[in-house]
Amino acid sequence: MRVFVAGGAGYIGSACTEYLLDRGYEVTVFDDLITGHIEAVDPRAKFIKANLADRENLKKVVKEGNYDAIMHFAAFSLVGESMKNPSKYFNNNLANAINLADAAVEGGVKTFVFSSTAATFGEPKEIPIKEDAPQLPINPYGESKLCFEKVLNWYSKIYGLKYAALRYFNAAGATEKYGEDHNPETHLIPILLQVAQGKREKAMLFGDDYDTPDGTCIRDYIHILDLAQAHEKALYAPKSGHYNLGTGSGLSVMQILEAARKVTGHPIPAEVVPRRPGDPPRLIADSTRARQELGWKPQFENAEAIIASVWKWLQKHPNGYSK
């Protein structure tokens, strides 16, 4: 099967590309390297450096490639930035994504797998979160992803494009070769490990007065290899649909901190600071649909195993992909 991976030089896209190649798929990575890294492109994949905003080039590339499926990871994903610059998010995450959907339709691609997000739900009323929970995003990032989910739904009805929108909860972990290298870094686990590396003096914990057992936010951490497994299984989904991807069990910020201390053997000093606006106390996925319809089962459900995979990658790449 020939798979076109938009955003394959990014954190999750690179892991999925590696996963597909290991299983015999023929993969083309399409990335403009604005936030991705050339070092994260698996050398077994064909690589095209280009931007989704160039509609005509994109249509040409997709048509000539004769692809069976498209996986779409190329998006901006900083919630805070989206509140300051919504235009950037709607242009890239929605308008450019529509360019890719149009290229899929015109190029005869049958299957489209979309990297969506739990941010489409906003502040949920019920935990765990089911796929049919109300989607009320509280930032332009979540709204841009939800808008494109709706586009795909209409393209499925009108053009027959089969799609799977995979709503990630908290992506984490690393493979042997590929890991997380963002600038700026906003994710909890790499920030904690940067303290252990001596790159930060301490970690900031945003709020310890939530209605949770230890007062810190609870999130559903999902390993990128489990996300990669879900993407492959989504290629064979019985019908178009949406799937929540999480382990179904939550871990608090304090639990992640303690696990990171255990894995690294470093005290990792941390300071509690006031809450960030818009941080819900709990976000936990109900991924029953993915398990039942896709046959998906996460393999990493232990905080220490997830953190250990990142720590191992950082031993080989202490400065990320920078030489």
Domain containing residue 29: CATH number: 3.40.50.720
Question: Is 256 found in the same domain as 241?
Answer: no
Predicted confidence at residue 103, as pLDDT, reads 98
Q: pLDDT tens for residues 59-89? A: 999 999 999 999 999 999 988 899 999 999 9
Q: Are 222 and 249 in contact (CB under 8 A)?
A: no
Predicted confidence at residue 276, as pLDDT, reads 80
Average pLDDT over residues 283-306: 96
Sheet containing 218-219: which strands, arranged edge to edge? 251-252, 218-219, 282-283
pLDDT at 301 exceeding the cut of 80: yes
Question: Is 263 found in the same domain as 213?
Answer: yes
Question: Is 153 found in the same domain as 128?
Answer: yes
Active-site amino acid positions? 141
Question: Is 150 found in the same domain as 274?
Answer: no
Question: Is 307 found in the same domain as 234?
Answer: no
- 285: exposed, middle or buried (Cβ count in 10 Å: 0-12, 13-18, 19+): buried
Residue 43 lies in a domain: yes
pLDDT at 18 exceeding the cut of 60: yes
pLDDT at 215 exceeding the cut of 80: yes
Residue 122 lies in a domain: yes
Other Cβ atoms within 10 Å of 15 Cβ, number: 29
Q: pLDDT tens for residues 125-174? A: 999 999 999 999 999 999 999 999 999 999 999 999 999 999 999 999 99
| pTM of the predicted structure, to 2 decimals | 0.96
pLDDT at 277 exceeding the cut of 90: no
Question: Is 256 found in the same domain as 295?
Answer: yes
Written as six digits, the tokens of 136 are: 């009320």
Q: 131 lies in which domain range?
A: 2-172+221-245
Q: How many domains does the chain fold into? A: 2
Q: What is the DSSP letter of 95?
A: I
Share of the chain above pLDDT 70, in %: 100
